[in-house]
Homo-oligomer: A and B are copies of this chain.
Amino acid sequence: MTTFQRIVLASRPTGEATLENFRLETVEVPELKDGEVLVRNEYLTVDPYMRSLMNEGKSYMPPVQLNATMAGGTVGEVVASKNPTFDTSEVPLQAYLGVVGMPGMTAWYGLNQIMVPKPGETVVVSAASGAVGSVVGQLAKLKGCRVAGIAGGKEKCDYVVNELGFDACVDYKAGKLAADLAAATPDGIDAVFENVGGPVLDASLARMNPFGRIAVCGLIAGYNGEPVPVNNFSAVLVMRLTMRGFIVGEHMEFWPQGLNELAMLVACGKLKYRETIAQDLANAPEAFLGLLKGKNFGKQLVKLTR
C-alpha cells in the first residue's frame, strides 16, 4: 500500500452540482509519524451536508478548497500503526457510518434534545426513509409517539410504513402534500424533524399544535443555492413554536450515551436500516449526486475495497 486514491473538488458548482466538479487522483501514502495509524478504508459515506461545503463563503463548516480532498467519513482496517489505541466492534463495520455513526447520532440528538416528544404526541419526519429520518421515526415509535413520515415515491413510503413501522408516510411527489399530511396527522403535529425545508417545512408548519418543537437538521431543498422561502413562518408566533438548527458534531458530550443506545437497539433488532452501496471510489461523485436527488434508498455508502 504505497499509493491511495482520493476525490478532489475540481471546480465549484453553479447551481446543481455535476460530475465535472470532481476529479479522481492517485497520490503517495505519506510516511507514518508517531501517534498515527494507516487505515485501509473499506467504506466511504456520502451525505447531503457535503453539498454545502462545495460552495464558497459562509456555511457551518469551512468550504472545501479547490483541488483539496472532498473529505468524508470512512471505516476500515488498521494496516500499520504508531499509536497504541485500539477499537473493538460489535455491529457490522459499515453501521458505524450510518445508524451507529453520525447519521444515527443526528437523529438521536434532534429527537432527544430538541423535539423531546411525549408518548401519544404526533411526530413528523421528512426524508423519512433516509439514514437520519429512518432512525428518528423508529426512536419516536419506541417512545410511544404517533409518527408520520414524508418521503419521495410509493416504494420508499411503503418501506417506511411496512418495514420501519411508521404509522403513515406521505409521498411528496404525489402533488398534494398539504392535504395528505393533514390526513396523516389528524391531531396536528407536536414535533418535527426537518431535513428538507421549503414547501415540505411549510406543510408541517400549517399543522403545528401549540408549543410544538422543530429540529432543523437539513434544508436539502436549498443546497443548490436557490432561495427556499418559508411562507408559513407566522406559525412560529401563533403556535408559540421552538425551532432549533443544530450540527451533531458540536455536541460530542452526548455521543457516548447515544451511540451506546443505538448500538444496543441495532443488536437486538429494534432499529432497522437499509443501505445503498456503490462500488469503488471513482463512483463516489455519482453516488453523491444521486443522493441529492433521492436516488438512494437508505444510507448511501461507497465500498472502497473488493
Tell whether A229 is near chain B: CB-to-CB under 8 Å: yes
Tell whether A239 is near chain B: CB-to-CB under 8 Å: yes
Which residues from 39 to 85 on chain A have a C-beta closer than 8 Å to any C-beta of chain B?
Answer: 52, 58-60
CA distance A243 to B240 in the complex (A): 10
Per-residue B-contact encoding for A173-211, CB less than 8 Å = 1, 0 else: 000000000000000000000000100000000000010
Tell whether A254 is near chain B: CB-to-CB under 8 Å: no
A236 touches which of B216, B231, B234, B240 (Cβ 8 Å): B216
* Total number of A residues with any Cβ neighbor in B under 8 Å: 31
Given A227-B231, A229-B231, are A245 and B250 also a contact pair (CB < 8 Å)?
A: no
Total identical chains: 2
Assess the A236–B229 pair: CB atoms within 8 A.
no
**A228 cross-chain contacts in B, Cβ below 8 A:** 233-234
**A237 cross-chain contacts in B, Cβ below 8 A:** 60, 216-219, 245
Given A60-B240, A219-B233, 18 extra CB contacts under 8 A: A60-B237, A60-B238, A60-B239, A197-B234, A219-B237, A222-B234, A228-B234, A229-B230, A229-B231, A230-B233, A236-B245, A238-B245, A240-B244, A240-B250, A242-B242, A242-B243, A242-B244, A243-B243
A-B residue pairs in contact (CB < 8 Å), sample of 21: A60-B210, A60-B238, A60-B240, A216-B236, A216-B237, A218-B237, A227-B231, A229-B229, A229-B233, A230-B230, A230-B233, A236-B245, A238-B245, A240-B244, A240-B245, A240-B246, A241-B244, A241-B245, A242-B242, A242-B243, A243-B244
